[in-house]
Structure 1
């Protein structure tokens, strides 16, 4: 792999004439990077697809190839990409529906807005994989028909399709009025009864872990129920009977739904399995009484999930902050706090609460400055990237808290070039700070040179446009291929050097 040419292929400053030259000599690796370039013309896209056929599919998905550029017989995968984007010729769908390659028919079945006659052909396909894929994406009418398909795998896919009519989903979930399925993937492949080993060593075995069949296709039926419970189109009247189901997975799926009646929530809150209660705790549809009940749950994951619930009462959240590990993240309830709530949080006696508030990046100046001066290092670390902090405030934070805040100070978008240089000279050095400085828009040549000495920051710094051009050229010969590609992709690389690096096509 030529890492210099791969980097140049991604360089946004590569002149158009050099893009053309690179297309003319591209191998598969270079072509893959060229296909992701912004600003490729249709002419360049057609030339690239002609040079390296593997690029045609991503180029089609980007809208750089049209139906006029594609031969569906020679380029079926490209034709499918355009059909998937609703930009192909409907006649291609009829051609591909009869293709002997099952993978092509399976991909076709997932395409939107297929002609009715093509859907009919795919629904009658001899390979269940094709029919299953159609069932997963098809229209309400066809989904209703396929819900009665003799193969349980097809019904499982219908249960996952959100276009399936609600009454059909209810039937799939309960099985009432539905003829039993005749086959499943397990009994297609094995003599029943059979239980698939979750650690199956057999090469080429595609059965799902734990799949089983004793003649009733039980594992697939169970999965079909899970899919229907997860499907928002399934009527709530049909799902509530599963509140006491023996399967933990089924109850977890149920607990994630936002439309359950209160009595079901109350039953699930008392579920003996913590995973079920976790799903309830994260559900924004539960009421305040249940939120407060879950705050006393002995499961750490339950309480931690509850902290992320956007409807958790603020007083409950402040209590949770001191008992569960939440980490440096902006919680939805903190993000939605009113001005008066923000003031109260800022003056909380709990550093954990102040730290959570400090994750907001829209705080009033006075509160922001107070948190920047907080004596607790975790609070200061949380507020350090907040826009608007002055160099003096950031310097003070580093002086007060040292290595605990250096990395986050370096991430402040307003950090000055001088401050960034100081941070790269901090003793002891902070590796995270080098990575932050290496990607900072205000980083200078000296700061970036210091970042090059850090193994993890070196590839990032090599691509920074403020790196001096002579140094960029040096890095083109680096031992680390990531550094080489980043340097070659650096927009500050001289066009003259770029031209020297791209060979002329043979015969030019």
Structure 2
């Protein structure tokens, strides 16, 4: 990254005027501006930190996105949600590669993605359209029509998947000059709506992609097998598997599936609600643990029947059974399932969007670690359990636990001197902790704690300015919401931003 560390710092009087205070606060800001060094790679870290600084105004963000080359854009610009002002500023970056990474971001506001779909660079436009298609992001209808009828065949192809594409435009694309576009425009919905001469031409199209699309659009799905004879006659293994799992099989086929030599067939039969309960229970003693687990999770079993099965339950998450998810809005069903002896059902309950307080209390005291952890991961857990899990769990979700609604609470500051660095980190989430505690923890030997302190808005400016020049805290310090605007601009001067 180009840097201009030789540029003079803004003078102290100017910094004070920007702060609107010619006294102590203004002098403190001016001193911080003058002292900033910007050594090594810290200016790169400042750029990515300022993008996510909630107090960075439009002018700061405009300058951020003049930095070229832009640091590490591939690794964060495509995935992290950007503040709205940053998202709108980002589309003006001069490097099309940066805009292309940005166009991959499904969390962009729709109006920003719409700008990228009209970018001067063809690849940026195509990526933006692909993102809008994949994530169902609605672009303005007039833009969708323009993309679907423009000169770029790849954009026309992509536009067929955009939300809001008028029916008549999609139908017209079945006559597109490009065979890929013609093929994607032909499907079960469009086929019967096409003019007869268009269907005739498509059926005789010289391109195999178009003929394959016609064959798929006109294919009639036969009913799944429901008898033993039909099952044995079915040559498609996918259809046999779906039949075993979901079809309304008759009694003979149900018995055939339960006794099948293939464990995959028995596993599918264990899920099939049309297999009678008494017959399904035969699978409760199956030699395959996955089959036993599947049958133990059937909706039609009593607690006693579940208890008689000895499933092997893996650690961690399992998919929530569909019948449990269907009852998420029923408080009595949640109470009943939270009291189940089957740990997978208790884990499933924790995924409900809302739970009665008594169910939360029961699950928070569950003897299964993953019931308690999943309760925390879904924002139901009480404060004490969140703190306990944050200390004991080191998996993928551990970092998110501190952001659950019940984590931050007065009293966490008592851990500021604890031997466990994770608890010292937790101390910074005490809303009543003062600047002195935050500053003390900014010197912590553990990088996790120092970084958290560097982004804390209660940190005194003098110490914040020091942390901006330390490599392991520069990025998080640049996100600190208490950064004065003159200091932000000096950081951008040193990072080589334009004016």
TM-score (norm. length: structure 2): 0.58
Residue 69 of structure 2 is matched in structure 1 by 27
Question: 1:66-109: per-residue Cα shift (whole Å, max 9, x none)?
Answer: 6899477x647527846964442645544436x5xxx5565456
Higher relative contact order (CA 8 A, sep 6+): 2
Contact 2:46 2:475 in 1 (8 A): yes
Residue 55 of structure 1 is matched in structure 2 by 99
Q: Measured at CA, do residues 500 and 506 of structure 1 come closer, stay the same or move farther in structure 2, by a change above 3 Å? A: closer
Is 1:169 the equivalent of 2:242? no
Contact 1:304 1:325 in 2 (8 A): no
Is 1:118 the equivalent of 2:173? yes
Question: 1:1-34: per-residue Cα shift (whole Å, max 9, x none)?
Answer: 6222022123232111111222333534477777
Is 1:487 the equivalent of 2:487? no
Cα distance between partner residues in 2 of 1:364 and 1:451: 43
Cα distance between partner residues in 1 of 2:191 and 2:117: 33
Cα distance between partner residues in 1 of 2:442 and 2:345: 34
Residue segments in structure 1 that go unaligned for 5+ positions in a row: 171-233
Deviation at 1:325? Answer: 2.8
Question: 1:126-180: per-residue Cα shift (whole Å, max 9, x none)?
Answer: xxx55654557973346977678677766666687xxx4xxx232xxxxxxxxxx
Residue 64 of structure 1 is matched in structure 2 by 112
Is 1:13 the equivalent of 2:55? yes
Q: Where in structure 2 are the equivalents of 1:67-466 lying within 5 Å?
A: 70=118, 75=122, 78=125, 81=128, 85=139, 86-88=141-143, 90=145, 93-96=148-151, 106-107=157-158, 110=161, 112-113=165-166, 114-122=169-177, 125=179, 133-135=184-186, 139-141=190-192, 164=217, 168-170=218-220, 234-236=221-223, 241=230, 245=234, 248-249=237-238, 251-255=240-244, 258=246, 260-262=248-250, 267-282=256-271, 288=277, 292-306=281-295, 314-317=303-306, 323-325=312-314, 327=316, 331-332=320-321, 336=327, 352=343, 356=347, 359=350, 364-365=356-357, 368-369=360-361, 387=380, 389=382, 413-415=405-407, 417=409, 420-421=412-413, 429=420, 437=426, 446=437, 449=441, 453-454=445-446, 463=455
Residue segments in structure 2 that go unaligned for 5+ positions in a row: 2-43, 134-138
SS in 2 for 1:24: coil
Residue 82 of structure 2 is matched in structure 1 by 37
Cα distance between partner residues in 2 of 1:55 and 1:131: 30
Cα distance between partner residues in 2 of 1:69 and 1:394: 43
Q: CA RMSD in A?
A: 5.7
Deviation at 1:354? Answer: 9.6
Cα distance between partner residues in 1 of 2:360 and 2:206: 64
Contact 1:342 1:357 in 2 (8 A): no
Q: How many residues align?
A: 417
Contact 2:386 2:402 in 1 (8 A): no
Cα distance between partner residues in 2 of 1:403 and 1:79: 45
SS in 1 for 2:66: helix
Contact 1:328 1:356 in 2 (8 A): yes
Cα distance between partner residues in 2 of 1:319 and 1:326: 21
Cα distance between partner residues in 1 of 2:317 and 2:268: 22
Cα distance between partner residues in 1 of 2:271 and 2:258: 12
Cα distance between partner residues in 1 of 2:432 and 2:187: 50
Cα distance between partner residues in 2 of 1:411 and 1:341: 29
Q: Measured at CA, do residues 76 and 370 of structure 1 come closer, stay the same or move farther in structure 2, by a change above 3 Å? A: closer
SS in 2 for 1:25: coil
Contact 2:173 2:185 in 1 (8 A): no
Is 1:3 the equivalent of 2:45? yes
